[in-house]
Amino acid sequence: METVMEEKRRVGEAAAAYIEEGMTVGLGTGSTVYFTIHKLAQLIKEKGLVVQTVSTSKQTTTLATSLGILVRDLNEVAHVDLTIDGCDEFDSALCGIKGGGGALLFEKIVAKASDKNIWVGDSSKAVSQLGEFPLPVEVLPFGFKHTLKKFQEAELNPVLRLTSDGKTYYTDSGNFIVDLHLKKINDPKALSSWLNAIPGVIENGLFIDVADKVIFIKDNIVKEVNR
C-alpha cells in the first residue's frame, strides 16, 4: 500500500506529460500539483522544454520561480493553453470541489481563461456525490457576519476558516474563507448560483464544467477520465 504522498507524486508527474513546447501553462495550487511543478522544472532543465506559466497563488509562484520556471502575470498572456490543478473531490460528471488550500478564486479565474483543464488527485478524491469535503466559499471581510447569517439561515453549517494557530485565515486577495459543512450536495449548479448571488460572496469552490480530464489513482493504478 503506497502512501498518499506517493499517489500524489504519481498523478502529479503524469500530468506533466501533457505540457507541450511553447505552451502557456496554468499552475494550480496544492500538494499534488507540487509534483507537477517539480516535474515541469525537470523537463525545462533536462530537455530544454520552453514554456511560460501563470500561477494561481503566491505559494505556487514562490515554488515555481524558485525552480527556475517563468511565471507571467495573467494579464500579460493572451490565453492559457492548459491548466493543471488539484481538487478536493470530483464526481463522475467531473464536477468538483476546490479551495481546500484557499486558492479557489485565482484557480477559477485561471481555469476559465484556459483552453483545457486537467485535475490531478490521489485515491481519496473520487466520490459518488459531492459534499463530504467542506465547500469553501471566499467571502469579503466587509459585513461578513451578515453573509455568514445568510448561510446559517439556509442551514449550510458555515465555519469561518482559521489558520493552524487559530488566527483568521486570509486568502491571497485579503478575503475570508467560510467552509460549508454540507455532507451532500444534491444540485451543485443551483447551490453555486445561489451562493454567488449573495453580495458578500466573492466566489465558491464548486467547479462545474471546468475539468476536461482528471488523472487519479484507483486500486493503485493511475487512471484518466475525460469529460
Ligand X SMILES: O=C(CO)[C@H](O)[C@H](O)COP(=O)(O)O
Q: Which residues are annotated as a binding site for substrate?
A: 29-32, 85-88, 98-101, 125
Minimum distance between the CB of residue 34 and ligand X, rounded to whole angstroms? 7
Question: Residue from 14, 25, 32, 84 that binds ligand X (CB under 6 A)?
Answer: 32
Question: Residue from 41, 55, 86, 213 that binds ligand X (CB under 6 A)?
Answer: 86
Question: Residue 116 has which C-alpha cell?
Answer: 483545457
Longest dimension (CA), the chain: 56
Judged by beta carbon, residue 24 or residue 117, the one nearer ligand X is 117
138 Cβ contact partners less than 8 Å away, ≥ 6 residues apart: 99, 104, 105, 171, 173, 175, 176, 177, 201, 202, 203, 204
Q: How far apart are CA 222 and CA 91, in angstroms?
A: 17
Residue 99 binds ligand X (CB under 6 A): yes
Q: CA 10, 16, 20: angle at the middle one, nearest 5?
A: 160
Residue 29 binds ligand X (CB under 6 A): yes
Query: Is-contact 55 109, C-beta < 8 A?
Result: no
Where does this chain touch ligand X (CB under 6 A) — which range of 70-78, 84-92, 142-150, 155-163?
84-92
Where does this chain touch ligand X (CB under 6 A) — which range of 14-22, 103-111, 139-147, 187-195?
103-111
Judged by beta carbon, residue 154 or residue 170, the one nearer ligand X is 170
28 Cβ contact partners less than 8 Å away, ≥ 6 residues apart: 36, 56, 60, 83, 84, 85, 86, 103, 107, 110
Question: Residue from 7, 81, 107, 203 that binds ligand X (CB under 6 A)?
Answer: 107
107 in catalytic set: yes
Judged by beta carbon, residue 91 or residue 154, the one nearer ligand X is 91
208 Cβ contact partners less than 8 Å away, ≥ 6 residues apart: 95, 188, 189, 192
As beta bridge partners, residue 16 has: none
Judged by beta carbon, residue 38 or residue 98, the one nearer ligand X is 98
Candidate list 89, 107, 138, 203, residue with the active-site label: 107
Please give the annotated binding residues, written as ranges. Answer: 29-32, 85-88, 98-101, 125
Residue 100 binds ligand X (CB under 6 A): yes
Residue 26 binds ligand X (CB under 6 A): no
Residues in the chain: 227
C-alpha distances (whole Å) from 57 to each of 4, 33, 156, 158 are 23, 12, 27, 24
Judged by beta carbon, residue 154 or residue 212, the one nearer ligand X is 212
Residues of this chain that interact with ligand X (CB under 6 A) are 28-32, 85-88, 98-104, 107
- Residues involved in catalysis: 107
